Amino acid sequence: MKLKHAAVLLATLSLAACGGGKQEGIVNFVGFAPVTANDKDVRAVQTFCPGCNEPLAVDTARHKENKKCNIDMAWTGPYRCPSCQGSGICAACTAMEQTRGECYNCKGEGVLIYAGKSPTCPNCKGNKVCPICKGSRKCDLCNGEKTIPKEVVKAKAAKFVSKDGDLPDSDPRPPDTKKDEKKEEGDKKEEKKDGGEEKK
């Protein structure tokens, strides 16, 4: 009997530790950290209901909007920073081996020297340091804290939730001019054929 009591007690404690048996809200971090000045920051946060996988705001206690789901859930941040993997170190400095926070492109000189010329470094714009962390070597997403607070995750996911699950904005595609050119060439050929038949 004592073993049974111990088992029940352990089960009760484990349920209390994980929010009374509530499922944890799903938080997905998408996109990669920029490593150079030319990289676009496309990082985003997506949050979902653990029951039906619908987009849902952080801190929602019960999914009342979906009557078929209607489950209770918990959001227990902070969350491990996805950019630095919880190290607190700038992802660009790690990827480009910038051990002192110096710009990898100009080696911290601010200029590029070649063929007797010394133009300003296009990556750091002459600042000599990593353009992502400004030379601090701290992760730009979590500010070197290794984790991201729940409030920040909620704010970053708000746009995703309001769009009802849309993907992050991407660069607009340029118009496909090749198709238009081929269509024009085809129209010209047809005109020539029609003209030839009339002469007969």
Enter the tokens of residue 181: 């050119």
pTM above 0.75, yes or no: no
Q: What average pLDDT score do residues 149-171 get? A: 77
Per-residue exposure over 48-58, b if at least 16 CB sit within 10 Å of its own CB, e if not: bbbbeeebbeb
- pLDDT of amino acid 7: 44
Q: Which of 53, 74, 77, 49 is nearest to 63 (CA)?
A: 49
pLDDT of 13 > 50? The answer is no
Q: How far apart are CA 160 and CA 31, in angstroms?
A: 14
Residue 53's pLDDT is 93
What 8-state DSSP symbol labels residue 135?
Answer: T
Residue 177 has pLDDT above 60, yes or no: no
Q: Name the pLDDT band for 163 (thresholds 50, 70, 90).
A: confident
Q: Tell me the mean pLDDT in the region 104-110.
A: 95
pLDDT score at 195: 56
Which residues fall within 8 angstroms of residue 111, CB to CB, at 6 or more apart?
A: 118, 119, 120, 121, 126
Residues written for the chain: 200
Spatial CA neighbour of 50 closest among 76, 30, 69: 69
Q: Does the structure show a pLDDT above 70 at 173?
A: no
pLDDT digits (tens, 9 = 90+) for 91-100: 999 999 999 9
The pLDDT of residue 61: 93
Ranges of each domain in the chain: 22-86+145-171, 90-137
pLDDT more than 90, % of the chain: 63
Query: How does the average pLDDT of the chain come out, rounded?
Result: 82
**80 has pLDDT over 70:** yes
